[in-house]
Amino acid sequence: MTHAALRSLKSISGITTEINAVNYVPPRSWLATSHLVLGFFLFQNNLWHAGRAPVAAWEFEKRIDCDFEPFISNLWPFTILGLDIVGPFPPAVVQEKYIVVVMEKNLI
């Protein structure tokens, strides 16, 4: 007799579902394994993108034409703008007492 007696092992289409069977894998093991494999591939994807980002930035900077870029001589043009702090005022709704005023000076 080459086959086991009928109803000795619970099986669905040749895959045993009995816990004490030899080839039974519990669902938690499938879930843990799938999470491990998915985590590995996500980590590999993260490493690939982290390695690719500096190369992409370098290629982008290489394509910039520096001849047409404007030169900013002074980031804070204090010769053009006037800055003043006015206060203290009575506390407002948001408990602010001071106000910052920026005015543009005429160059003419």
Q: What is the pTM of this model?
A: 0.36
| pLDDT grade for 107, boundaries at 50, 70 and 90 | low
Determine, yes or no, domain membership for 68: yes
> Which pLDDT does position 1 carry in this prediction?
45
pLDDT in tens, 21-60: 566 677 888 899 999 999 999 999 999 989 888 888 888 8
Please tell me the total count of domains within the chain.
1
Determine, yes or no, domain membership for 74: yes
Q: Which domain holds residue 32?
A: 27-83
Determine, yes or no, domain membership for 43: yes
Determine, yes or no, domain membership for 75: yes
Determine, yes or no, domain membership for 13: no
> Which pLDDT does position 9 carry in this prediction?
53
Determine, yes or no, domain membership for 60: yes
Distance, CA of 45 to CA of 40 (rounded, Å)? 9
Determine, yes or no, domain membership for 14: no
Determine, yes or no, domain membership for 97: no
> Which pLDDT does position 56 carry in this prediction?
87
User: Is 84 a residue whose pLDDT tops 90?
Assistant: no
